[in-house]
Structure 1
Amino acid sequence: MKALVYEGIQEVNVKNVDDPKIENHDDIIVKVTSTAICGSDLHLVHGLIPNMPKGFVLGHETMGIVEEAGKDVHKVKKGDRVIVPFPVACGHCWYCQHDLYSQCDNSNDYGEIGGIFGYSNTLGGYAGGQAEYLRVPYANVGPTKIPNQLSDEQALFLTDILPTSYWGVDIGGVKSGDTVVILGCGPVGLLTIKWAAFRDAKRIIAVDRVGYRLKHAEDNYNVEVINFEDYDNTGEYIKEITNGGADVVIDCVGLDGKMSTFEKIETALKLQGGSKSAIEIATQAVRKGGTVVLVGVYGLRYNNFPLGDFFSRNITLKMGQCPAQAYIDTILKYIEEEKFDATDIITHKLSLDKGKHAYEIFDKKKDECIKVILKP
């Protein structure tokens, strides 16, 4: 089959690889109809996630048709149209039983945290879904059947960015009347803005440095926007214009934010896991007693982490990988009832054969690219 594979830092290609096969009785094989490139895929391509072998199939936002099912699979069957959430989860360990699917104890033999499709050997070694076919283990837990009246474009983001953005607003406790700051206007950030508005936040401020992404937020969601390149201290500026800071700050950037020269050196030497620029903005942009949520992906340990700034102002920190399975049914209902639509962030639909080009325009912010869907 054809698949997008990692070929080294800043290098991906479409290659022919072996078709996946049923390995366990609760596996399914999905014939992929749509897949997407996620901002966290770029962390792999930039060499920020360890144990990424050449030839590894990328992608963790995937949906399609069940082609084959193991004999113990009862949740879905051959011919069903399904989305596949990005965490690989067994469904029966303590963490899965407590809706912490992303921390599954049984899905990653290589480390303590749970497995993720297409995300290196560090996260379980599971081949990803930017391919013609995908093997899905624990198929009675993750895959969810999608109604035929919904298009792929309406449903695909249930695999990751819709639950992740919803979860950030949920654990942040965003409520009616709140002031909310969203750091990063990529796909997750834009959807987080929409969920904050869905929860009736009174004031939403979106922060980025990419002009067309800020324009999308301003034009489509009617929110305030700030280009952080325009200010010496963006966090202090936000504190000033909000009379003390926001109730909730949600970091949708993660380790791939703008790095200082020192951070670039530390990251290259594996002394630090990328940028913490968004975290530093958050320390000042949040009010005393407020909440900061990190949904952008971070790695390794961080030097000069501003812990004292959070501690001295009684800030609540919440973070981690979204347990997507816990939110899919709720969000799917909103989509079916036409209460929420995420399709406005889609800027490009390309064939899988154009995957290398898709990564380039997404990574380099070319052609006003926000979100790419690939069709095998």
Structure 2
Amino acid sequence: MKALTYQGIMNVGITHVQDPVIQAQDDMIIRVTHSSICGSDLHFYYGMIPSMEKGFILGHETIGIVEDLGAGVHHLKKGDKVVIPYCIACGQCSFCQEGLESQCDVSNREAEVGSAFGCSRLFGDYDGGQAELLRVPFANYTSFLIPQDNEIADEELLLLTDALPTAYWSVLHAGVKPGDTVIVLGSGPIGLLTQKLAWLLGAERVIAIDHVPYRLEHAQRTNKVEAFNFKEVDDLGLLLKEETRGGADVVIDCVGMNGVFTPLELVQTALMLQGGAMGAIRMASQVVRKGGTIQLTGIYGIRYQGFPLGDLFSRNITLKMGLNPATHLIPPLYRMLREKKLVANDIITHQLGLKEAERAYDIFAHKKEGCIKVILKP
């Protein structure tokens, strides 16, 4: 089959690889109809996570049609359309039972983290879905069957794999409640969806911060937020403290380690002394109110120099973070889409064939052509 594989730093390409096969009774094989590029894929694209090896199949946002089933898969049949959550979960371990599927203890026995498709050997060594076929382990639990009377377009269903659950979990985990002022750092796909869901949970005021003009314009136009470009304001932290009368109740960082680097952070990251940029964390610490909450949703590396721990401690800030447990969040989000309580497909700007994946990564990574979200079709 054809698949997009990692070939080195900022180098991906379509290669011919062996078709996946059933390896366990609860495996299934799907024929991929749609996959997409996530901001997390860029961490591997830029070589920021050293566990990614040449030839590894990328991608963790996938929907498709069931092609083959192991004997132990009991609620699916060939021809069913399924959404595949990004995280691989057994459904039986204590973490899955607690609703922390992103920390499943069974799917990744080699590391103290959960599993994900297309995210290197560190996250379970499972091939990704930017390919023609995908093997899905623990298929009874790591899948969501699309009802036959479904009327939601496949492109919007694809957002259920990761982007929508990540945004939804962000506002839930951060404790957004009616009347809150919420500041969202980043207006990429996750940031834009987080803004929508903050409103849905009753926020009184939603403020977006970014430095890419077309993303901020999109946020204002589609989400009715107040938007600020941090590169155009000398002291945005001070300004927002004044604008919000002391800071936001909740700040949600949807940027992570791919933010704007200082020269020192570039050097430290190259030497593996730093896990990426930390500008979003610094901004979050400046614009949250005393006793407020910061939610880190954008992915971070391991080590960070100059983390503002004392500032957070002295102001009684609650710091939350982690990988969203997408599996159990997909059904309620599907209902929201079906009942039209939520419209998510306005973040999709590009739809390309899998054969154009190399170009797709380039325009997404370098913010060309007004790109926000790219969908790939084999």
Q: TM-score, normalised by structure 2?
A: 0.98
**Which of 288, 296, 299 is residue 297 of structure 1 equivalent to?**
299
Partner of 2:36: 36
C-alpha deviations, 1:66-109, integer Å up to 9, x for none? 10010000132211100000011111111011110001111113
Structure 1 gap segments, 5+ residues each: none
Partner of 1:70: 70
Following the alignment from structure 1 to structure 2, what is the Cα–Cα distance between the partners of residues 81 and 34?
11
More off after superposition, 105-114 vs 116-125? 105-114
Partner of 1:232: 234
**Which of 162, 165, 173 is residue 163 of structure 1 equivalent to?**
165
C-alpha displacement at 1:281, in angstroms? 0.2
SS in 2 for 1:354: helix
Partner of 1:51: 51
> Matches of residues 213-362 of structure 1 in structure 2 within 5 Å?
213-362=215-364
| Paired residue type of 2:52 | M
SS in 2 for 1:292: strand
C-alpha deviations, 1:23-60, integer Å up to 9, x for none? 00000001000000000100001111121110100000
Partner of 1:99: 99
Q: What CA RMSD, in Å, does the superposition of the two structures yield over aligned residues?
A: 0.9
Q: Does the CA-based 8 Å contact 1:164-1:324 persist in structure 2?
A: yes
Following the alignment from structure 1 to structure 2, what is the Cα–Cα distance between the partners of residues 27 and 163?
23
C-alpha displacement at 1:266, in angstroms? 0.7
* Identical-pair percentage: 56
Following the alignment from structure 2 to structure 1, what is the Cα–Cα distance between the partners of residues 325 and 82?
18
Partner of 1:19: 19
Following the alignment from structure 1 to structure 2, what is the Cα–Cα distance between the partners of residues 232 and 6?
39
C-alpha displacement at 1:330, in angstroms? 0.8
| Paired residue type of 2:59 | G
SS in 2 for 1:217: helix
Pairs aligned (count) = 376
| Paired residue type of 2:143 | P
Structure 2 gap segments, 5+ residues each: none
C-alpha displacement at 1:150, in angstroms? 2.0
Q: Does the CA-based 8 Å contact 1:75-1:139 persist in structure 2?
A: no
C-alpha displacement at 1:14, in angstroms? 0.9
Q: Does the CA-based 8 Å contact 1:76-1:143 persist in structure 2?
A: no
Following the alignment from structure 2 to structure 1, what is the Cα–Cα distance between the partners of residues 201 and 48?
34
Partner of 2:176: 174
| Paired residue type of 1:304 | G
Partner of 1:143: 143
Following the alignment from structure 2 to structure 1, what is the Cα–Cα distance between the partners of residues 60 and 304?
26
Partner of 1:196: 198
| Paired residue type of 2:5 | V
